[in-house]
Structure 1
C-alpha cells in the first residue's frame, strides 16, 4: 500500500511530464482492446466446435453423360442405386443422400413452420436419408433417432437453434407443441426430436434447421428429376492419404448406374476450404489478421519507445537512488510500479469508452468496426478483451523500462551524477 501511495505521489509531482504518457496510454489501451477483441473473436470462432465432424467424410462427384440406356429410370432411381451400391462397399461406414442440405454448401432451401398459428420461424430445410446424422456425427435424440423418424412431411426434427427461436417468442414451447404448415393450416406437423446445436460453416452462427427424413419411396416420388448429393463416411482404419486415388481407381466404376457416373470422391475438408474461399471468409480473415498485426507492431514499437526514452532521461534519478542506498531491484520495482500504475489509472476511463463502443454495436447493429464474427456482445467478452489489453500493454511497459534501466544501473552513480 505504501508502495502504491509513493508511486502516486511521484506521478502527481511529475504530472506535467506524465500528461502526454497518460494520453498515449489512453489511446493505446482503446486500440489494444480492439485488437484483443478482434483476435479473441477470431480465435473463438475458428476453434469453436462445429457440432458435427467432417474427418473421414467424402462427397461423391457425379456426372451425367450420354443417352440413358434405360428410359424407364428416373434420376432418383439412378441416385438411389448409387447410394445402395456405395453402402455395400467394405471401406464405407455409412452413406447418405440429400437434396440442397449439405453443410458448407451454397445450395440451400428454406421454409417456415408455425406454432400456435401465429408464430412463424423460417429455417433451412435438411432433406436427407437417415444416414446423414451418422455421416456427419451429429447428435440427435437417442430416444427418437432421426433414422427411425417417419419419412413424410408431417414429421420433423428441429435443430436446437430453431427450438431456441421458438422459445424466445413462446416461452412454453416444447417438443410436444404441434407445428403447422405455412400454406395449409389443416395439416399438423409432429416434432420427433431435436438435433443438438451445430453450425453449417465455420464462421456462421448456430443453424436453425428443419430435418425431414427421406426413404426410397419419398425420393423417387418427390425428387424424380432433381440432382442429389451423396456423402459417405469412410472407416477410420481404411482412410488415408491415398484413399481418394484408390476410390477412383478401384471403387468408382462399380457405382456407375446407366448414364450416371462417379467421377471422384472429394474429401469434405477440401469442400470446407473451397466454400470459405468462395464465401469470402478466407479473404476476410486474412485482411483482419493483417490489419491486427500491423496495428499490434506499431503499438508495440511506439509504446516501448516511449518508455525507453522516458527511462533513459531518468538516469540521474536512478544513479541518485543507488547512491542513497537503494538496491537495483528496488529501483526497478519503483520504475515498473510507476509505469503499471499509470496504465491502471488510464485503463478505467479507456474501458468506459470501449464498453460504449461495444454497446453501440449491440444497439445499432453489427458493425465492421468491432467484429463480423458471430460472438455476441456481453460483459464477459468486454472483460476478457480489457484484461488481454492490460496484460499486453503491461508487458510492453515493462520491456520499455527494463532494458534502459538495466543499462543505467551498470554505470557508477558518481559518473552518472557527474554527467548530469
Structure 2
C-alpha cells in the first residue's frame, strides 16, 4: 500500500508540491514555537531554591537630628549596628514570628547585586580566581528562606552556628568539578590574609522564575562582623527578612507591627515599612509576565491560523477527489479502508518533510538560535518538541480528511461515476 500511495503522490506532484511546501513551513514554525514555550515553562516550574511563603521584607530607617525621639550619637551607649541587631531580636521574640534575618544584598526579587573576587588558597593551580555574586548573611537567613544543601537537608542544621562560606552547587561545580569545596579556604582578593573556609554547599538558587541559576556565594558572618557590615552599608541599606508563622494573613501584618509598639524603635533605629516578598515578586516579574502573556497570545493566534489552514487545505484536497473516493466505494471499498488510505496518504506526505526539518533544526543549533543557556538541548527536549509538532500536524491532517470522507461514504455509485 505504501508503494501505491507514493505513486499517487508522485503522479499528483504538481498539487502535492505546494502542500508539501506548506507542511514544511508550518511544521518548522510549530517546532520553533513549541521549543520556545517548552524552555519558558520548564524554567518557570524548576525549583527556585528558596521559599517566600509568609515572608516579608522589613525596611529599617534612622531618626535624623531634630526628629522627636532622636538620640545624640555622643550620648548613645551602643553603636547603630548593635541597635539594629537589638531591634531584630525584639522582633524575633514575638510569638507570631518564626524567624528574622539580617543580610547585605540577600533579599530575593530585587535588582541589587554585589560581586566579589573569590581566591582559593589551598586548591591546585588549575582553580583560578573568579568573580561571583556575593552576599553577607547571618545563620538565621537560611531558616527564613528555607535554603537546603544539595541533599535537601536544611542548611541551618548543617552549619549550626559556624561562620564561613556557603557556595551554591553550581559554584562548587564551576571551581572543583565533581570534587567537594567544603573544607577549602578562600579570600576575597589576591593579597588577602584572611582564610575563610567553605562550610557547606547550598542547592542552586535562581533570582526569578524566568532565569537560570547562577553561581552564588553566601558568607555567614558573626554578630560582631554583622555590626561592622551594618555600619558600612548603613542601616537603611540592609535587608531584613522576617518569616511569620503560618496562619497570619498579610492584611494583619500592620496590626502586628502596631502591637509591637516601642519595641520597633531602638535609639535612632526604627522599622520604617514592611512589604510582602510576594508583592516584590509580582513587581519584579511584571514585565516578564506581560511578555509571556503576549508570547502565549501570539502562539495561540498562530496555532489557530495553522489549525484552520491545514484543515482547510486537506479538506479541499479531499473534497476535490470525491469522484475517486466514490469510485472506490462503488468498487467495494468500505469506510475503514477508504479512511485508512486517505489518512495514510496525508501522513506520508507529512513524513516526507522530516529530513528537511532535521536539516533546518541542525542549522538552527549550529547558529545557536534556540535557547540553550536556560535549558540544554538534550534528546528529551528534541523528542518533546519534534514529536509534538508532528503529532499536532498529524491530528490536523486527520481532522481535515475525516469529514469529506464521511460524506463520500454516503455517495451513491451513480453520483460517484458522474464525478469521475
What's the secondary structure of 2:200's corresponding residue?
Answer: strand
- Which of the numbers 146, 149, 155 marks the counterpart of 2:159? 146
Alignment correspondent of 1:102: 107
Work out whether residues 247 and 265 of structure 1, in 8 Å CA contact, stay in contact via their aligned partners in 2: no
Q: CA deviation at 1:304?
A: 1.6
1:221 has 2:231 as partner: no
- Does 2:91 align with 1:86? yes
Q: Does 1:162 find its partner at 2:171? A: yes
TM-score relative to the length of structure 2: 0.87
The DSSP-based 3-state class of the residue aligned with 1:375 is: coil
Q: How far did residue 328 of structure 1 move?
A: 1.3
Q: Which residue is equivalent to 1:69? A: 71
1:244 Cα deviation from its structure 2 partner: 3.0
Match of 2:129 among 120, 138, 152: 120
Tell me the secondary structure at the aligned position of residue 223 of structure 1. Answer: helix
How far, CA to CA, are the matches of 1:294 and 1:409 in structure 2? 34
d(CA) in 1 for partners of 2:5 and 2:356?
Answer: 20
CA deviation string 1:180-199 (max 9, x = no partner):
43232544332111111121
Give 1:374's aligned residue.
374
TM-score relative to the length of structure 1: 0.87
- Is contact 2:39-2:375 (8 Å) kept? yes
Native 8 Å contact 2:330 2:416 kept in 1: no
Distance 1:172 1:249, change over 3 A: closer
Aligned to 1:261: 270
What corresponds to 2:305 in structure 1?
298
SS at match of 1:145: helix
How many Å separate the matches in 1 of 2:408 and 2:79? 86
2:139 to 116, 123, 130: 130
Query: Which consecutive unaligned segments of at least 5 residues does structure 2 have?
Result: none
Q: Hey, what does 1:40 align to over in structure 2?
A: 38
Return 139-148 or 34-43, whichever deviates more: 139-148
1:61 is paired with a residue whose SS is: strand
1:201 is displaced (CA, Å) by 1.5
Aligned mate of 2:281, from 244, 249, 272: 272
CA-to-partner distance for each residue in 1:348-373, whole Å, 9 max, x for gaps? 32122113202311xxxxx5xx3487
Change (3 A) 1:180 1:59: closer
Q: Secondary structure, in 3 states, of the residue corresponding to 1:210?
A: strand
What's 1:404 paired with?
Answer: 404
**Shift in alpha-carbon separation, 1:77–1:309, aligned structure 2, 3 A:** same
- SS of residue paired to 2:367: helix
What does residue range 344-359 of structure 1 map to in structure 2 within 5 Å? Answer: 344-359=351-366
Q: 2:416 and 2:250 mapped to 1: Cα distance? A: 67
Give the conservation status (yes or no) of the 8 Å contact 1:320–1:413: yes
**Cα deviation, residue 70, structure 1:** 4.8
SS in 1 for 2:38: helix
| 104-113 or 187-196, larger mean C-alpha shift | 187-196
Q: How many residues align?
A: 402
Cα gap change, 1:260 to 1:14, in 2 (>3 Å)? same
CA distance in structure 2 between the partners assigned to 1:372 and 1:82 by the alignment: 46
Residue 244 (structure 1) aligned with residue 257 (structure 2): no
Q: 1:395 to 1:257 in 2, by over 3 A?
A: farther
Specify the alignment match of 1:389 in structure 2: 389
Cα deviation 1:240-263 (Å, max 9, x = unaligned): 353334334434764233444334
Tell me the C-alpha RMSD between the 2 structures. Answer: 2.5
Judged with a 3 Å threshold, the aligned counterparts in structure 2 of structure 1 residues 246 and 408 are, in CA distance, closer, same or farther, namely farther
Does the Cα contact within 8 Å between 1:252 and 1:264 map onto a contact in 2? no
